[in-house]
Chain A
Amino acid sequence: MIDGEIGSSAEQDVGKLYRSLAKEKAPEPLDQRVLQHAKRAAKREDTRWLRWLRPAIAGAVVSISLIVVAGQFDLWNLTPPASGDGDVVQDFDDAARESSARIREFGGAVTPQVLNPDSLPADTYQNVAPSTSTYCREAQIAGRAAWEACISALHTSGRDAEANEERRKLHAAFANKSP
Chain B
Amino acid sequence: MIRGLRSRTHGVGSVAVSSGSAAAVSVGRGLRDAGSLSANEAVAYAHSMTTPVSDSALMLRYADGDAAAFETLYRRHNDALFRYLLRLCGSRAMAEDVYQEAWTRIIRARERYRPTAKFTTFLYRVAQNCFIDGTRRNRRYGGGPAPADLLCDGSGPEEATERANLRQRLFDALADLPFEQRDAFLLHEEAGLSIDDIAHTTGVNRETAKSRLRYANVKLKKALAENANPAAHGSDHD
Give A contacts to B, CB under 8 Å.
2-4, 6, 10-11, 13-15, 17-19, 21-27, 30-31, 33-35, 37-39, 41-43, 45-46
Q: List 8 A-B contacts (CB under 8 A).
A: A11-B213, A15-B188, A22-B87, A26-B79, A34-B74, A34-B100, A38-B67, A38-B107
- Most chain B Cβ neighbours within 10 Å, of A39, A45, A46: A45
19 new A-B contacts at CB < 8 Å, known A26-B81, A30-B82, A34-B103: A3-B225, A13-B221, A14-B220, A17-B170, A18-B174, A18-B189, A19-B3, A22-B83, A22-B190, A23-B154, A24-B82, A24-B83, A25-B78, A26-B78, A27-B96, A34-B107, A41-B107, A42-B65, A46-B65
For the residues of A in contact with B, the DSSP-based class is helix
| Inter-subunit contact A21/B78 (CB<8 Å) | no
| Inter-subunit contact B221/A42 (CB<8 Å) | no
Give B19-72 interface residues, CB cut-off 8 Å to A. 62, 64-67, 70-71
**B132 interface residue (CB < 8 Å to A):** no
Smallest beta-carbon distance A29→chain B, Å: 9
Smallest beta-carbon distance B193→chain A, Å: 12
Cβ contacts B178-213/A at 8 Å (1 or 0 each): 000000010011100000000000000000000001
Smallest beta-carbon distance A12→chain B, Å: 9
Number of A-B contacts (CB under 8 A): 110
**B112 interface residue (CB < 8 Å to A):** no
| Inter-subunit contact B79/A11 (CB<8 Å) | no
Chain B residues near A24 (CB-CB < 8 A): 79, 82-83, 86, 150, 152-153
Q: Which of A17, A26, A33 contacts B82 (CB 8 A)?
A: A26
Smallest beta-carbon distance B99→chain A, Å: 7
